[in-house]
Structure 1
Amino acid sequence: MPTSPLVPTPPSPTIRPSRARASAVTEADTRRSPCYAERAAAQRAHLGLPLLPTTTIGSFPQTTELRTARADLRAGRIDTADYEERIKAEIQEVISFQEKTGIDVLVHGEPERNDMVQYFAEQLTGYLATQHGWVQSYGTRYVRPPILAGDISRPEPMTVRWTSYAQSLTEKPVKGMLTGPVTMLAWSFVRDDQPLADTAHQVAPALRKTLPLRTADRAGYLAWATETSRLTMSGVRPDTQIHTHMCAMPSSATSSRPSTTSTPTSSAWRPPAPTCRSPTNSPPTATRARPDRVSTTSTPRASRARRRPRTSCAPV
């Protein structure tokens, strides 16, 4: 069968080390230690945050300059070094803006990310990315959903470099942001030669993204989703706090395996404060088979004028 010009030759669907790691997971691997009381004390001592600290959801708008730089890199008009200097300049501006506005826990703004799902898929073994496979998300928003064709593995760190650079610019804590694993599943074309739970154990999902509409199907989903959600966080240090951001779910979703508008994002901080929700704009009702989502990483902006970021807080 001829290979599509949009998709490179698929990788082997089976990677034994990935399957070996997934099958070796135990109950102990899905639990953080030490106990919560000890972790909370360690986090307070390590971070030294105020009672009601402020932060943002992580992504700042993708400016016209950033989009132009990315297009120039693809077209060969600039090289990688020049492109990365532009990314650094944007991070410097984002950090400076947050410090001036008095935010307690900073973010680097994610200027290097072309899309909240595609960016990570391109760095994971087992995913394929297309060049022209655009899919309408909502309105005039289009994305290129990656194709999850094989067992997942992570060859090298994906977020450390730019987060570390941002941290070098400030004395305040900078949280590392990455797209939630279930969003990675829900906004990809996922392989159907094995149960979704098996794939999820490799990608390690966050809870309730793609929750089945049928009540009878939820118990099984919640069993493995809870386990794998804990697995994503069980290995972090006791003094590391986890901050999860989720947008609202649309009431009009009708898919049998729905994506919601939630965009869970794991990071290295969550403030010990009462729950408060960031304002979100719900997208129009979906007109295609795959439901909508709200992308927090690709909002175009007409000028360089900074808009005040949304703040959020959540209980530990």
Structure 2
Amino acid sequence: MRSASVGAASAMLLVGTSTAVSATIADYPVLAGQALRYALAAAILLLVVRHQHLPRVRLTARDLALLAALSATGLAGFNLFLVAATRHAGPAMIGTVVGAVPLVLALVGPLTERRRPAPHTVGAALVVALGAAVAAGLGSGSPAGLLLSLGALVCEVAFSLLAIPLLPRIGPLRVAAYPAALSVPLLLAASLALEGPGALRLPAPGEAAAFTYLGAIVTAAAFFLWYDALRRLGADRAGLFAGLVPVGALLTTVALGLGRAGPADVIGALLVTAGVVLGLRQPGRDRRGPRRPRAAPGARPGRARRTGGRRITADAAERLTPGPRTPQSA
């Protein structure tokens, strides 16, 4: 649980750093740049898969359909909606809408696993979403901008939910690698259609360094960490860490000297942190551990041993042993 939580937090903080890094490639065509980023990430992840000598997995038609849907929505679709939304709404409004990812995962994630959402997780997700909204600022935009932002939100949720049935079969490395590779031709086609043939140009040295960071760290490393945590934590609890994206953006912006942290940024970060901590707590669980039964007056404490996967005393084990009972054991 602890390592999965660290992995999820690291993944979302790394994704948050992309905001500041992307500012250095603002003049490069967006969709073509995303295609370069995912191509580099896919190459790295596939090399790791080969180096790890993982057992071969035969993909079924259902696996291929899920991978195609994941690449079309969670990767290519998300970028398309995001680019279109920026033409009708400000970054604050888009960040506020997409910041509701933890709440949606807390509600929808358990339903996909045929269980009820945990009330404390839903409450924690509300706190995280509120913190993300405060950090982003409640901006304004047109109805078209709101709809496009909601489309980006749906794609971001699909990025996690579509991966859940794939993770037990093919593992987090392949789930991170295959959709990244499949999204490259989709983004290249969208770039040619929307940005023109001139968008496919070689990046300048500074742009190449930024794309290397985005592809190797923000995509390859962060995707693997996220899917590994998603497999172990579940969509509802892992989704809480999605609220750390604006926190990562804030820390990177301040560290690189690109801006200052205002009161709303600090309050939002504190709310997100509080929501994550609240959501990871186990309600109704005694932190001191299970109470040991008191020994009868005058009885000698028995030595503890394990029987049937439970830790019980030797006296209790004797009483559980089948067979005729002596007067002392009776």
Relative to the length of structure 1, the TM-score reads 0.24
Whose radius of gyration is greater, 1 or 2? 2
Higher helix share: 2
Query: Higher relative CO (CA 8 A, sep ≥ 6), structure 1 or 2?
Result: 2
Q: By percentage of residues, which structure has more strand?
A: 1
